[in-house]
Amino acid sequence: VSVPTGLFIDGEFVTSKAGNLFASENPSTGQELLKIQEGREEDVDEAVKVARRTFDDGSWSGSNPLQRAKLLNSLADVFEKNFDEIVALECADTGKTLNQCSKLDIPGAIGTLRYYAGWADKILGTTSFNIPGAFAYTRREPIGVCGQIIPWNFPLMMFIWKIAPALACGNTVVIKSAEATPLSALKACEYIQQAGFPKGVVNLVSGYGKTVGNAIAHHMDIDKIAFTGSTTTGRSILKASASSNLKKVTLELGGKSPNIIFPDADMEKAVDWSAWGINMNFGQTCHAGTRIYVHESVYEKFLNAYTERMKRVKVGSSFEDGVDQGPMNSKMQYDKILSYIESGINEGATVHLGGKPIESKKGYHIEPTIFTNVKPHMKIMREEIFGPVVCILPFSSEEDVLRAANDTRYGLAAAVHTKDYARAIRMTNGLQAGTTWVNMYNLVHYSIPFGGYKESGIGMECGEKALDMYTALKAVYFNTGMPCPG
């Protein structure tokens, strides 16, 4: 698979102004894949100038919405034509399994493009004749230049989640990929060229958060910023917005999601979905079901069945047949997860399964891990681990488990397993989370809004609601006979 290595500015791949390079590695082997151009603040400035010029000249912001839809669909066509190529690249750069990339990540990205292509000519305002002597209407206008910063865990999908609604609304984009997984964004920009997008509509500056990300967050000529990543960085972006030009902010941040098993649940299905709750992307997802609460009457039954299910998880490299769990994304993430496991042991929790690195394999592999005898105050219960680690705890009543589930600073996702739909409604109403599932886990669809409560974020990704994040609402009044009151 060939990959362009330059920054993507004004429709071309270019060398960074400083000429520095940084490496991307294959987490299955720990070996370098290739070196790419490293952007800095001056490259962000250039990309923003191009995006501003392109927005202001109206060639994109004022274009026929049907043309924007056509180009988004054309980009989806290019992805479909090169499906195997982009799957292979995403697997190599992230450590994802071939199964997940080919069935979830890439189809999800393509679906998102087509979904927002369908919205491009349906971004409508409202009208009012309810004011005597006046007529009013509203317009939803593109915000302007959008800065976007994406994470390493779903690099291509997050690239598309960010650009698709922004472009459908007529905005221009300056986007930063994660330094750990920059390759699929570069390839996507090559596809953007092939799809025929005008120059300057999408601009990609690869690089590090402390330089490129910080420059985007503080830039005085960026009108809106969208970020997916840690809550700590999200706070910094809010501060940067406040101290610069009060740019509009969307944040999709961390989680520590509860997954609740009631005694009347279909136990086999609850086990399978709970396993998927952590096995999807090997726990490297913000909505992973890491706190599993099981009713005390079925706790041992569930624990035994879940343990046997997790023992069957095949760990290996991305392209091995039948692999369920690939490597952790980077050495830094690998070390972080192992430090959390050590913390759990030191605080008195029991490693029921796993808990060790797999040193017999190349790359950054860790055994699927189950902790029991866990207390609410423990670090492994309070903080986002972002790896294949779950805590399983018993509960006695609906009231107690709802209180425990909500005892977190996060509020991204939660799940309930029960055949009692009155209970399911009570619980999903009471859970303080932006996404809740009943008798399933980890289904996130591009047509449904996705966002968090509390410290899990501000605003929404996906669905029609994402369009609100990328438009400014203007009210227009016409005098149809109202006399001046003064």
- Sequential DSSP letters for 159-184: HHHHHHHHHHTT-EEEEE--TTS-HH
Residue 141 β-bridge partners: 472
Q: At what angle do helices 65-81 and 106-119 cross, to 10 degrees?
A: 160
Given the DSSP bridges, would you call strands 453-454 and 224-228 parallel, antiparallel or unpaired?
A: unpaired
- Catalytic, out of 91, 189, 286, 462: 286
- Any residues with CB less than 8 A from the CB of 36 and at least 6 apart, and which? 3, 5, 6, 21, 22, 23, 24, 182, 183, 186, 206
* CB-neighbour burial class of residue 429 (10 A; exposed 0-12, middle 13-18, buried 19+): exposed
Question: Any idea what DSSP says for residue 450?
Answer: B
Question: Any idea what DSSP says for residue 28?
Answer: T
- Catalytic, out of 252, 367, 398, 461: 252
HSE-CB of 298 using CA atoms within 13 angstroms: 21
In the chain, the largest separation of any two C-alpha atoms, in whole Å, equals 84
286 is catalytic: yes
Interatomic CA distance for residues 26 and 252, integer angstroms = 26
The size of the chain, in residues, is 486
Instruction: Kindly provide the residue ranges of all beta strands, DSSP E only, lying in 163-253, ordered along the sequence.
Output: 172-176, 202-204, 224-228, 248-252
Secondary structure in 3-state letters for 338-397: HHHHHHHHHCCCEEEECCCECCCCCCCCECCEEEECCCCCCHHHHCCCCCCEEEEEEECC
Interatomic CA distance for residues 181 and 61, integer angstroms = 30
- Specify the 3-state DSSP secondary structure of 274: helix
Structure tokens at 472: 């400014």
Catalytic sites, residue numbers: 252, 286
